[in-house]
């Protein structure tokens, strides 16, 4: 789903291609528009090597949910990416 | 009580279906309307694999109490869910 | 003194039935009305299984003192309870 | 100096009977009235069992100094007590 | 790309020569101008010896991304450098 | 220089007799009157037994420098003392 | 460059003689006048014995860079010194 990028996240970081804004996702998950902090959805593009004694859980291709303010933005060939720590990911869809 | 969801909480996180608002729950627990932070009630739908050397205690189907501001909201097929760390759960009913 | 409740505190949490407001307790302990944070008194109703390598010290039936703002309120069959971490308890009476 | 109380401090806590206000203590220690936080003086009445691998240093009967805002107040048969962590005690007199 | 500097970063620190401001980098990575904290790009010039049991991952010559406010500025022979902890680096390009 | 006091600092604490205010100390150290936090000078009078696996470094009689706001004041027979943690001491003169 | 001082930094602290204000240092390092926190330059005069299992890296005579607000000032025979933790030093020149 995501083409290979020349970006290697460091340590426990994960590069994510955020899902385009849609009111209903492919898997049927809807992110409600409420007062609480909303998890966001995206596809993992690349993962770091993990930290000492802490291997990574997610892998490239996983659809994941993450907190609204997680990560830092990065643009490559016109596409938006996010890079965040694995601990900012709350679930695999 | 809760149908199978395609959501796998990461690490020590737990997916919970909150109880609908009611003044008296099935188990007879009433959440008082007072000044203190009130625990909320729900059913565990899915649990993560736990963290290193910290297996999870709750399991799917458990009725649990959690803090009022715990977790992040998530909507699936018209139902509201919460995803939170197990440490935000205070008791199993 | 406290009937069996279907509430199992998680990890290091303790369920407590607070003493009713009285100026002099059965054991002769009076909680003074001063500027400092006042400990409160109650009876332990249920205790969690403890955390890894940290067994619990208090047990059901213990009369305990705890900080004024400790814990979260919970109501069951018309009685008020508090659920808190054992570390919020300062003494056994 | 202090009669036996039915109070068992939990973990690393210590029950202290504060010295009555006096400008010069029996041991000759005077607590100056200055801008800095002043240590206070009292007698240890009861000590907890300590924390894991951290036995207690003070014992019942010790005269100790502690920080001005240390501990929580407790009244028993007309006497004021303080309950605090051993780490709030700065010295044995 | 960067000439040898007489600067040895201490412990887990890394000396970086920031990329000159450009809208499109050599590797095609564009740093978007948005509200979120933007990662910055540079070349590693020198790395510290690491901390105890924590060897360094990046090496001199690596193109890296780092947070917008990471590090401290340093000027040498008219060129700007940044010195930061390796943990402030989010990815290797 | 300092007479024996009946004060035993607890754990990692140190009792210090501050140097009287002087613009030039005996050892030639002058504490400048600038905007930065100024270290203060005094003589160690008594030291605690240290913490587990952390023996004390300073000993009674040492002239030491410490931070301006370090410690708590204590008066004994008309002399001012300070009681502080050893980690608040920055150097031995 | 620096005469022997009778000051022994405690634990992981380092005594530093700051470089006099100059726009270009001997080694060609210029500290830019920008909005970011600027590292400062000085010569190590004395180092502590280190902490348990953490030997010191810098030694007397090293030219070092440190953060702008690092350390505490100390004056000796008309010269200004700084005393700081080794972790406040970012690089050896």
Whether the predicted pLDDT of E30 surpasses 90 = no
Measure CB to CB from residue E91 to each of A13, A52, A77 and give the nearest one.
A13
- Interface partners of chain B (CB pairs < 8 Å, 3 or more) are A, C
B near C: at least 3 beta-carbon pairs less than 8 Å apart: yes
> How far are the Cα atoms of B51, D52, G39 from residue C54, in angstroms, in the given order?
18, 8, 45
Report pLDDT digits (tens) over F38-85. 568 999 999 999 988 888 999 999 999 998 788 888 877 778 899 999
| G10, G73, G77: residue with CB nearest F28 | G77
Residue E62 reports pLDDT greater than 90: yes
Whether residue D6 contacts residue D75, with contact meaning beta carbons closer than 8 Å, is answered with no
Instruction: Say which range, A89-93, C10-14, D28-32, has the weakest mean pLDDT.
Output: D28-32
Candidate from F6, F49, F72 with C-beta closest to D27: F6
Find out whether G20 and G89 touch, Cβ atoms under 8 Å: no
Q: What is the C-alpha separation between G59 and B21, in angstroms, rounded?
A: 66
pLDDT 10s digits, D37-71: 556 899 999 999 998 888 899 999 999 999 878 88
Between the CA atoms of B41, B47, B51 and B56, what dihedral angle is there, to the nearest 10 degrees?
70
pLDDT exceeds 70 at position F25: no
The domain covering A1-20+37-81 belongs, at the CATH homologous superfamily level, to GroES chaperonin (2.30.33.40)
Q: What are the sequence ranges of the domains in chain B?
A: 13-20+38-92
Question: Can you tell me the distance from the alpha carbon of B17 to that of B3, in angstroms, rounded to the nearest whole number?
Answer: 10
Give the CATH architecture of domain C13-20+37-92: Roll (2.30)
- pLDDT value of residue E35: 42
Q: Would you say residue C5 has pLDDT above 90?
A: no
**C chain contacts of residue D48, beta-carbon cutoff 8 Å:** 91
Q: How confident is the model at residue A5 (pLDDT cuts 50, 70, 90)?
A: confident
pLDDT for res F11: 92
C36 has a pLDDT exceeding 60: no
Q: Based on the number of CB atoms within 10 Å of its own CB, is C85 exposed (0-12), middle (13-18) or buried (19 or more)?
A: middle
**Which residues numbered 29-88 in D keep a CB inside 8 Å of some CB on C?**
48-49, 52, 71-77, 80, 83
Q: For testing the chain B interface, which of C46, C70, C74 should be mutated: the one with the most B CBs within 10 Å?
A: C74
Compute the distance between CA of residue E92 and CA of residue E90 in angstroms, rounded to an integer: 7
- Supply the pLDDT for residue C49: 92
Q: A73-82, B75-84, F20-29, F41-50 — which is least confidently predicted? A: F20-29
Residues of D in contact with C67 (CB under 8 A): 72
E10-19, E36-45, G31-40 — most confident range: E10-19
The pLDDT value given to residue G21: 56
The pLDDT value recorded for residue C54 is 83
- Whether the pLDDT of residue B4 is over 70: the answer is no
ipTM attached to this prediction: 0.71
Is 60 exceeded by the pLDDT of residue F32?
no
The beta-carbon neighbor of F89 closest among G10, G49, G52 is G10
Task: Select F7-20+37-81's CATH number: 3.30.9.10, 3.90.470.20, 2.30.33.40, 3.90.700.10.
Answer: 2.30.33.40
CATH 3.30.420.40 fits E13-92, yes or no: no
Residue E26 at interface with chain A, using a CB cutoff of 8 Å: no
Pairing verdict, β F72-76 and D63-66? unpaired
Interface test with C, best of D10, D17, D52 (most C CBs within 10 A): D10
CA atoms of B2 and B80, how far apart (whole Å): 11
Give me the pLDDT at residue G2, please. Answer: 46
Q: How does DSSP assign G60-81, residue by residue?
A: TT-EEEE-TT-SEEEEETTEEE
Q: Given a cut of 80, is residue A15 above it in pLDDT? A: yes
Cα–Cα distance, F10 to E43 (Å, whole number): 51
Instruction: Quickly name the fold that domain B13-20+38-92 has.
Output: 10 Kd Chaperonin, Protein Cpn10; Chain O (2.30.33)
Class for domain D13-19+37-92, per CATH?
Answer: mainly beta
Q: Indicate whether B75 pLDDT > 90.
A: no
F2 band by pLDDT with thresholds 50, 70 and 90: very low
CATH assignment of G13-22+37-92, among 2.30.33.40, 3.40.50.300, 2.40.50.140, 3.60.150.10: 2.30.33.40
Interface test with C, best of B66, B90, B93 (most C CBs within 10 A): B90
């Amino acid at each position: 789903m995501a083409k290979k990028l020349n970006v290697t996240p460091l340590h426990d970081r994960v590069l994510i291609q955020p899902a385009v804004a849609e009111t209903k996702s492919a898997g049927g998950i809807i992110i409600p528009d409420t007062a609480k902090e909303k998890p966001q959805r995206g596809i993992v593009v690349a993962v770091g090597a993990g930290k000492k004694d802490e291997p990574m859980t997610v892998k490239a291709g996983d659809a994941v949910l993450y907190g609204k303010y997680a990560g830092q933005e990065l643009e490559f060939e016109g596409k938006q990416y996010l890079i965040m720590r694995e601990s900012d990911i709350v679930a695999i869809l």
